[in-house]
A and B are shown apart, each in its own frame.
Chain A
């Protein structure tokens, strides 16, 4: 059994734009790895390709380039027929719980569905396990007989989580799984994920815009900008030593829940570039407050500035990558 549950090399995904012959460059050369029992957090600009990465590594959509290795096996071009039985070990919680669930099915059947597909369980075993799963995501048994339209957003999110953990998968991609949960239910779900990884050594890719939650649950965090990982950082360094200018601006926009804490926001100038025409050089140069001429033509390589902390910025070496000292 491999220590690495997932790794990607130079993963890319392009979507054709109509019949124009041009492409949306959603993911542009991403290297990722997740170990057993590890939580990799992922943050980044909306539209930076997080969901696309999640879907591609599970082969829910085909990559345009690069390699995906799952549990020691190269699955980049594995035919769907062979992927299907592997689904038991790779699950996803989709960003939009409304479209992820069949509106005509009962909640109980939705949670039991992966069990029926992947395990040879008797009906009563299946029902028992469904109830346990519902309880683990803090849904009372009363919900099992309802259809999705009779649930709130946060209740649906928990149904999706129950489905994803049903088969004890080796890898779970969670795409904004807690955005509609109140803080105490969210804390309960985070606890559940911690328990799962202790019990089953499952690996997680946890995509979220909530920096507080990301810091709490992740071991490492990948920061995305326009389909590229610009920084990969151990969790304790995310707030204390954000080193890419984009990460720094992201953290400065974080809203603390204490009304007395004053905001020192650093607003990025310029428009978010279109992924159809990616900027040359460093893709952040059009908005980067500390960009120099060479940023327009040179693509920065990832530098390991301390163990496990990788940053792709040309100004790292001259120490001028810090846009605001007081962030540090």
Chain B
């Protein structure tokens, strides 16, 4: 059984605009994802493609006018989308933890950071206060906050961007969750601290058999820390597979475009590397959502492309992707 399985998840923004017209932005269209215990899954993709929204939908953190209109999310075999608010709140913070993209918003500005960590531990794990305090200090140490004792009483506004980020990661890990969803957890951290945190996550994944989903724009993180990668475009996962395979033989045209724009390969002044505008969520094209930007597109792409299994566990949503030839084993390639 997968630790987390997301099937055809659809989240839309439904609201009335200034002229009282009912409008619907189809932000998540078909999100299909699986994640196993002991695995790290990287989610990459265009800005605005719906990565954060996917994470929020899974964790029950959506706010109106966002609404889940279809699909299913199962965690350890249990459907999450039909749970009551109380039920999902008990799971979130304990078994499922999330590091949100906007660190300051999830820190309580009126509580010192040590107290926030202790409170979280008390709510979900409990036990003597001294134990929670020790756990909080240990976590601060583990995420590389210098002088944890001294910083225990710091207020959120006194922290640098990266320090706030680390406090948030400590908060997510303090109850030893089964699933960690981290939305750009290391932006704002220098690469040495980033490495320390990613190593820590890796260690926890192995030690507690945790599943971990990392949303990032940093392909280096995916290349070196993620077992699996999923690529998002316009509210769809267009490709998912083992990282090495996707990076070395990207199947979907958008994945190919993305991998070509890494800072190592990019040259300023060569405009062809830049994609166009993403599709209008209020008015999605029928058929393949990337057709307007895709160099391979033909009339065929006016119909929705199927999700094709290229090889075991490597899937892509494109009319021109072919399953790898059967009977050709890796060894004679």
> A residues touching B (Cβ–Cβ < 8 Å)?
15, 18, 24, 43-48, 51, 95-96, 98-99, 138, 140, 142, 145, 150-155, 176, 179-188, 190-191, 194, 209-213, 215-217, 249-250, 253-260, 263, 265, 267-268, 271-274, 276
Contacts and interface: CB of A to CB of B under 8 A. Distances in A.
A272 B144 CA distance: 8
Contact of B219 (A183, A184, A253): A183
Contacts of B49: 182
Contacts of A51: 160-161
Contacts of A183: 217, 219, 258, 261-263, 266
A140 B195 contact: no
Nearest to B224: A255
Residue among B144, B165, B259, B275 with the most chain A CB within 10 A?
B275
A292 B125 CA distance: 46
B191 A259 contact: no
B91 to A, nearest CB: 25
B247 interface: yes
Given A96-B104, A255-B223, A209 B269 contact: no
B52 A176 contact: no
B274 A187 contact: yes
Nearest to A49: B160
19 contacts: A46-B160, A46-B189, A145-B18, A150-B13, A151-B48, A153-B101, A153-B102, A176-B188, A180-B47, A183-B266, A186-B217, A187-B266, A187-B274, A210-B263, A257-B262, A259-B248, A260-B248, A272-B144, A274-B147
A103 B100 CA distance: 18
Given A46-B189, A180-B101, A268-B192, A210 B218 contact: yes
B158 interface: yes
B244 A259 contact: yes
Contact of A182 (B45, B223, B273): B45
B150 A45 contact: no
Nearest to A246: B192
Interface of B: 13, 17-18, 44-49, 52, 101-105, 144, 146-147, 150, 153, 158, 160-163, 165, 184, 187-196, 217-224, 243-244, 247-248, 257-259, 261-264, 266, 268-269, 271, 273-275, 277, 280, 282
Nearest to A95: B161
A276 B273 CA distance: 46
Report the 6 A-B pairs with minimum CB-CB distance, sorted nearest first.
A46-B162, A212-B263, A154-B47, A255-B220, A257-B219, A183-B261
Contacts of B269: 191, 194
A256 B220 contact: yes
Contact of A190 (B13, B194, B268): B268
Contact of A176 (B187, B221, B264, B277): B187
A157 to B, nearest CB: 8
B220 A152 contact: no
Nearest to A188: B274
A203 B184 CA distance: 29
Given A187-B273, A258-B223, A212 B264 contact: yes
